[in-house]
């Protein structure tokens, strides 16, 4: 008989799993040849030779950024390349081991969507999916993201409240992480994940998740791809590189006949709906809004931010058919 999937939870303080990170490393040894740039015209192609150094901490930040951008944007415009796929697998766990991994997080998630275009992950080791979710998928749960010991020690990757006109920020790393988990988590585990997300006792986090749900509705219910999201500013859930994702490789703007995959599978969508309809309602979201009013929001942005949350609640009630 098939085994029951292990429960998947988001729990503050329980970040990337060391064992899963090690398995990702072991599956992807360093490629024999350096990776080259995606965008060049004539002359000699630039190669990222510095990434051949065995210690990821010694890699140049600029060279790493350029390589990650190339292997993420390259397939969209130039089709699949084994070179980029090998380097994606190699860089994924090693970026997560760097002290400055938060600088790459959003684009690294986008790279996953590019190189794991088929959510079924054909040809991958059966444990790859869970190892991906237990590492990159749990990055926002790292202890430093939730520590208030000292402002300089706080991991700024997680920022549910900003200082803009609409202070609730469900985009960037939060949106990237939520999209990653919902896209690749097996449907049987989605209810447990949602239960853990809603249990996190942090007013800013809860309100950001509600706004994310509202902003994600076009991806879930209207068949949109991240490239074509047209949310209003107060429901902006964009992250670095989301504009590269149209569900096909190469982009359908280059090859109209390229196979296209829905961003979220129907089974994941149905499981999410069932979980939210069981666990979330208007009364709960209104209580969360009252807690949001006590959060440290700049006075000049308070009225618009509270309106932002209320507007998102109305969208969630309607699109997810909640009571």
Q: Which domain holds residue 284?
A: 18-319
> Can you tell me which residue has the tokens 């990653």?
180
d(CA 304, CA 291): 16
d(CA 85, CA 50): 18
Residue 4 lies in a domain: no
Residue 135 lies in a domain: yes
Task: Locate the DSSP E strands across the chain.
Answer: none
Residue 198 lies in a domain: yes
d(CA 214, CA 19): 35
Residues pairing with 36 in the sheet: 47
d(CA 88, CA 132): 13
Domain count, the chain: 1
Contact 207, 289 (CB under 8 A): yes
Residue 3 lies in a domain: no
Tokens of 191: 């209810």
Which candidate, 149, 143, 166, 165, places its Cα nearest to that of 157?
143
pLDDT at residue number 47: 92
Backbone torsion region of residue 247, taken as left when φ is above 0, otherwise alpha when ψ lies between -120 and 50, otherwise beta: left
d(CA 311, CA 315): 7
Contact 27, 89 (CB under 8 A): yes
Helices 203-221 and 266-279 cross at an angle (nearest 10°) of 140
Residues pairing with 161 in the sheet: 168
Residue 10 lies in a domain: no
Q: Output b/e per residue, 120-154; b: 16+ Cβ within 10 A.
A: eeeeeeeebbbbbbbbbbbbbbbeebbeeeeeeee
pLDDT at residue number 127: 96
Residue 11 lies in a domain: no
The pLDDT profile of the chain, 323 residues, written as one tens digit per residue, is: 445 668 999 999 999 999 999 999 999 999 999 999 887 666 788 899 999 999 999 999 999 999 999 999 998 888 888 999 999 999 999 999 999 999 999 999 999 999 999 999 999 999 999 999 999 999 999 999 997 644 444 577 898 998 778 999 999 999 999 999 999 999 999 999 999 999 999 999 999 999 999 999 999 999 999 999 989 999 999 999 999 999 999 888 888 888 899 999 999 999 999 999 999 999 999 999 999 999 988 888 899 999 999 999 999 999 999 99
Residue 7 lies in a domain: no
Preceding omega of 250 cis (within 30 degrees of 0) = yes
Residue 265 lies in a domain: yes
pLDDT at residue number 3: 57
pTM of the full structure: 0.95
pLDDT at residue number 77: 84
């Amino acid at each position: 008989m098939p085994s029951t999937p292990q429960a998947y939870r988001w729990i503050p303080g329980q970040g990337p799993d060391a064992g899963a990170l090690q398995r990702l490393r072991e599956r992807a040894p360093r490629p024999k040849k350096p990776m080259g740039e995606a965008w060049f015209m004539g002359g000699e192609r630039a190669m990222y030779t510095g990434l051949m150094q065995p210690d990821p901490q010694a890699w140049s930040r600029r060279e790493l950024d350029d390589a990650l951008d190339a292997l993420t944007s390259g397939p969209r415009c130039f089709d699949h390349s084994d070179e980029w796929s090998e380097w994606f697998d190699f860089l994924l766990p090693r970026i997560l081991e760097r002290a400055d991994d938060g600088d790459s997080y959003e684009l690294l998630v986008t790279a996953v969507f590019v190189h794991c275009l088929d959510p079924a992950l054909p040809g991958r080791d059966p444990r790859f999916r869970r190892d991906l979710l237990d590492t990159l998928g749990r990055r926002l749960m790292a202890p430093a993201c939730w520590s208030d010991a000292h402002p300089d020690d706080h991991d700024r990757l997680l920022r549910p409240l900003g200082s803009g006109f609409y202070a609730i920020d469900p985009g960037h790393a939060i949106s990237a992480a939520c999209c990653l988990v919902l896209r690749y988590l097996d449907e049987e585990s989605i209810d447990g994940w949602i239960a853990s997300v809603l249990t996190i006792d942090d007013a800013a986090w809860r309100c950001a998740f509600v706004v994310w749900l509202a902003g994600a509705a076009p991806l879930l219910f209207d068949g949109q791809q991240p490239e074509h999201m047209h949310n209003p500013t107060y429901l902006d859930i964009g992250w670095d590189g989301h504009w590269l994702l149209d569900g096909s490789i190469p982009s359908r703007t280059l090859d109209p006949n390229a196979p296209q995959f829905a961003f979220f599978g129907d089974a994941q969508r149905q499981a999410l709906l069932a979980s939210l309809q069981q666990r979330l309602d208007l009364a709960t979201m209104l209580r969360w809004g009252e807690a949001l009013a006590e959060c440290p929001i700049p006075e000049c942005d308070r009225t618009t931010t509270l309106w932002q949350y209320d507007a998102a609640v109305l969208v969630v009630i309607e699109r997810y058919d909640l009571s």
